[in-house]
Amino acid sequence: MREAEELLKILEGAREVFVLTGAGVSTPSGIPDFRGKGGLYERISPEVFSIERFKKDPSFFYRQIGPMLKIILDAEPNPAHYLIAELERRGRVKLVATQNIDGLHQKAGNRKVVELHGSLEAAHCLSCGRSFSKEDYLQEALRGRVPRCSCGGVIKPDVVFFGEPLPSRALYEAIKAASSADLCLVMGSSLAVYPASSLPEYTLAHGGKLVIINLGETYLDPLAHRKFDLPVEKISREALRLLGVN
Ligand code: OAD
């Protein structure tokens, strides 16, 4: 596959790579994306991820999303995650900033990861602020029921809903890495949700290159040094093979 060779050549020419990932890197692991073909928003309204709506009616979120969390928890990394992990091992990757909450980059072996939209690992009570671990709240959530704190308050996973700010430390780290990188590699994101979508602009503004691997258009395609409109797992599998990694 000529494209994988081309991708590796671009990566080899880079001093420091900032990787931005979205739901498209996890579809080959069986987790649906949001706006792609067959994505979640063809079946459910984005309102399910609105913090306003969650506060008014948390059962709306847990009924629709709760049972789906099992797919995320059981998922395994795919070649796209493994390629990024291999690039980190080879000292190429400065940071991976992901919009995903599935923890698959860490599962694949990446250490330098920031989760821009949070994760399912922890949760907190919206009334008293008490923290909970995954084990404390997921059983109820998986049954589509609202997990509750001993104070009676609603427990919300520490994932970012529409209307909530991004975790400031994660965003700060991502902006810093995107600004110093000479290559931003976007994988599997429609780049439709701000501020994550704007991160490649920090690399571009500092004279770096942008490479996008995504099925479908993004608003930054015209500014990309190279756009691969290909399945991430396909080009990644071939790149891993060329690197001698199985
Ligand atoms: P999207 O669903 O918006 O975009 C995923 C992109 O990946 C789409 O353009 C797909 O066509 C593409 N894609 C799917 N499978 C692919 C594959 N195997 N290879 C290459 N491309 C593939 O997901 P995100 O950009 O991550 O936020 O969405 C950003 C945020 O919107 C999410 O974090 C979530 C959502 O609403 C919140 O819920 C706050």
Q: Set out the domains of the chain in order of their start, with CATH numbers.
A: 1-31+76-117+166-246 (3.40.50.1220), 32-74+120-159 (3.30.1600.10)
pLDDT-above-70 percentage for the chain: 100
Which tens digits make up the pLDDT trace of 112-137?
999 999 999 999 999 999 999 999 99
Please give the pLDDT value at position 20. 99
Please give the pLDDT value at position 67. 82
Assess whether the C-beta atom of 189 lies below 6 angstroms from ligand 1. Answer: yes
Assess whether the C-beta atom of 110 lies below 6 angstroms from ligand 1. Answer: no
Please give the pLDDT value at position 227. 98
Assess whether the C-beta atom of 20 lies below 6 angstroms from ligand 1. Answer: no
Assess whether the C-beta atom of 27 lies below 6 angstroms from ligand 1. Answer: yes
Tokens of 225: 């040094």
Q: What is the mean pLDDT of the chain?
A: 97
Taking CA atoms, 116 is separated from 45, 59, 168, in Å, by 21, 25, 9
Residue type at position 224: A
Q: How far is residue 72's CA from residue 208's CA, in Å, rounded to a whole number?
A: 34
- Ligand 1 centre distance from Cα of residue 46 (Å): 13
Query: Whose CA is closest to atom 26 on ligand 1?
Result: 22
Which tens digits make up the pLDDT trace of 4-28?
999 999 999 999 999 999 999 999 9
Tokens of 157: 């996973």
**Confidence band for 68, pLDDT divided at 50, 70 and 90:** confident
Instruction: Report, as residue numbers or ranges, the catalytic residues.
Output: 117
pLDDT-above-90 percentage for the chain: 98
* pLDDT at residue 101 is higher than 90: yes
Q: How far is residue 181's CA from residue 19's CA, in Å, rounded to a whole number?
A: 9
Which tens digits make up the pLDDT trace of 185-237?
999 999 999 999 999 999 999 999 999 999 999 999 999 999 999 999 999 99
**Confidence band for 70, pLDDT divided at 50, 70 and 90:** very high
pTM over 0.75: yes
Residue type at position 36: G
Taking CA atoms, 82 is separated from 30, 105, 128, in Å, by 16, 8, 40
Mean per-residue pLDDT for 50-75? 94
